[in-house]
A and B are shown apart, each in its own frame.
Chain A
């Protein structure tokens, strides 16, 4: 399957991709996006099976990207990987249709916990 990793930090994208491998998800195609607008465009052009997105990004935030996706009828599974995990943000994420929110700093175990069942 194809996983879209959206984060404005290239270093963090590398860390997310590395953690996916450490969690055992090493057999998937990875596409990177550098902000929410890029992610939204790539959801259309790349047709990923899962989006893992940062929240706080320039141009378009992760939550705006998710809302735009859902508004356009896209039901692609979407999870946040973000440096904040307050109850308010988790609620906002869930209401917008996110499957989960993984707070940074994260471990391979927290990836497994949230991604098992989402990634075949």
Chain B
């Protein structure tokens, strides 16, 4: 009677694992490290030291829908995202970077990190195409596996975060209008449909 737990919470915990049951931070670190070396450059290391993200950061993420459902979200400063884009494009970098280039490059890093995180989780799962903008909100602080690293001295956060439960009120429903994701309307999205 004195428990603050609710029946609803217990049911959720019984049926859906949280990410910390499935994944440890060191796995995310090693996945991200490999992605950086292969995509950004051979000498591009991620240093596991937390830094303060700027007030107006940018995020890139992919959604994983399966036995565990959530998002793999990379967040960094806009200048750092542009630097990552230049590093990825290498000699093909245009003189003036367009927002579209940054969204493409940063989204692709999220795609590779997310694809490998998905592979480390129990399946079968589907992976969404990458999205770029303001990060999806953390739904359940207990369902988050986050690492904070530095790349070229600049902070990058990688958060593997569950999509459940639905955001409680009074959060405005259009907090993140750029993020149009069928997953949130249909959590039982057929596996493999968007692979």
Contacts and interface: CB of A to CB of B under 8 A. Distances in A.
The range of chain A's interface size is: 20 to 34
Interface string B101-129: 10011011001101110110001100101
B112 A104 contact: yes
Interface stretch (A44-52, A56-64, A68-76, A112-120): A56-64
B107 A9 contact: yes
B178 interface: no
Interface residues of B, number: 29
Interface string A1-38: 00000001111101100100000000000000000000
A56 B127 CA distance: 8
Q: Is the interface of A mostly helix, strand, loop or mixed?
A: loop
B88 interface: yes
B195 A56 contact: yes
B89 A61 contact: no
Interface stretch (B34-42, B146-154, B169-177): B34-42
B115 A84 contact: yes
Contacts of B104: 9-11
A105 B38 contact: yes
A45 to B, nearest CB: 25
Given A9-B104, A105-B38, A105-B112, A14 B92 contact: yes
Interface string A77-91: 000001111101100
| Interface core residue of A8, A11, A58, A85 (most chain B CB under 10 Å) | A11
Given A55-B195, A86-B123, A89-B195, A11 B89 contact: yes
A88 B124 contact: yes
B85 interface: yes
B90 A84 contact: no
A9 B115 contact: no
Contacts of B89: 11, 14
A75 B127 CA distance: 28
Contacts of A84: 115-116, 118-119, 127, 195
B119 A11 contact: no
A66 B112 CA distance: 22
